[in-house]
Every structure is written in structure tokens, then in C-alpha cells.
Amino acid sequence: MRVIILAFALLLTTASVLSSATDPYLQKRQEMVRDDIRGRGIKDGRVLSAMAKIPRHLFVGERLRRQAYADTPLPIGEGQTISQPYVVALMTEALRLKPGDRVLEIGTGSGYQAAVLAEMVKEVYSIEIRKDLAETADKRLKELGYKNVAVKYGDGYLGWPEYAPFDAVIITASVNHIPPPLLKQLKEGGRLILPLGSTLFYQTLTLVTKKKGGDLAVEQMGAVAFVPMTGEALKRR
């Protein structure tokens, strides 16, 4: 028995060394999940598993890859950022996602949040208003094997009615009101999370649940700072 246990331990050690050799960021990713996500109170095992798996360094530019697993937002071009890991985890956990869910994401950015969602649900529909970011994210997600993500270049304020209703909606840009088209495309019982408030300063991370008959239950989850939603959102201020 002792020989078997030692052999098993050696196999695990060897596998770890091989994984580290093929993925030089493996240890940093594990530390990120341990310290900045689970260590700060995220309990959903599926969120933790997704973020332990996804190579976040591939969703930022090469010069920023060494910083990819720090708990901080990073620039991705065109004045946009990839959200800090803890905020990604917090927003994802709050949606209480199920494997068969269909999720709408507003603000694809580099595609990282979409990848996290894709690990957890059946279908992800993501809209990005900046064409270059949309095309780059779409290509990246396809290269990483995410066949359950559809990326669209367009104005996320209007949603994606062709695939509605959605079990959950996540908005990754700040807005000073909840876009009516997105509420309309949310299923009864569905959840919508967004940074709500001033688009110039800080916002309140807000979780909205669509009750029977269209009533809304609103939960405030703390202060955040996101880049503003553009397009139609700016006209409706």
C-alpha cells in the first residue's frame, strides 16, 4: 500500500511539473483563485473551476501577460479594460447560473467574461460595440474551442432579440439606468447584473431579478468602477 501511495504521489507531482511546463502561468492562476477569489468569499465551485482553467493571460496583450493574474483591471485597447478577476467572479456567482442557461453579455471586451460564462452554461450571446474588439474576441474564443459563444458587433443596449428570452444578462459597462430592451429580453425569474449609477465616477453593482408579472427585485452589492456604455445608452441619459 505504501508503494502504491508513493507511486500515486509521484504521478501527481510529475503531472504538476508537466502542466507547469506547458502552462507557465498555471501557478499564478491557482494563486489568483486561492487568494483573490475564494479567499475573498466566492463559494460557487463552478465559478472557481472556470477561473482556475481559463488562461486569462491570453485575453490581454503580450506586454501585460505577467500582470494577467493580479487582482486588477487591465487595458485591452480602445479605452476599454478587462475587469479584475474578483469582480468577474462576483458578478458571475451572483447570477446563480445553471448548466442549461442561455446568457446575454453586453460588452464582450477581450472575451474573458464570455469564456467564464461559457464554462458554466449552455449558450452565451455576447455583444461588443467596438468592431475590432468584437472580431478579436470572436477569433480568440474560437481558437480556444468555445463553440457555445456567439459574438456580435453591435449596440448592446438593444440586446439580441432573436435569441431572447435569456436566463441571465450581464452588463460589463456602466450605465445610469437599466436598459428597457434588456429587461424585456430577460425571462421571468431571470437575473440581470450591472454597474448602475454615474458613468463618470463610481457605480453600484446591482443585481435585478425579474419577478412574476414583471416586478423587479433589486439588490445592491457594493461600489465598482466600470468604463461607460456607449451608443444608444448615451442618448437615453
**Residue ranges per domain, the chain?**
73-235
Instruction: Yes or no: say if 104 and 169 are a contact pair by the CB < 8 Å rule.
Output: yes
Residue 92 is predicted with a pLDDT of: 98
Average of pLDDT values for 57-84? 96
Question: pLDDT-based confidence at 136, cuts 50/70/90?
Answer: very high
Residue 8 is predicted with a pLDDT of: 35
Predicted model pTM = 0.89
Q: How far apart are CA 170 and CA 150, in angstroms?
A: 15
Just give the CATH number of 73-235. 3.40.50.150
Q: Is there a catalytic annotation at residue 83?
A: yes
**pLDDT tens digits, residue range 143-201?**
999 999 999 999 999 999 999 999 999 999 999 999 999 999 999 999 999 999 987 88
Predicted confidence (pLDDT) at residue 13 exceeds the cutoff of 60? no
Q: How far apart are CA 95 and CA 171, in angstroms?
A: 12
Catalytic residue among 16, 49, 83, 174: 83
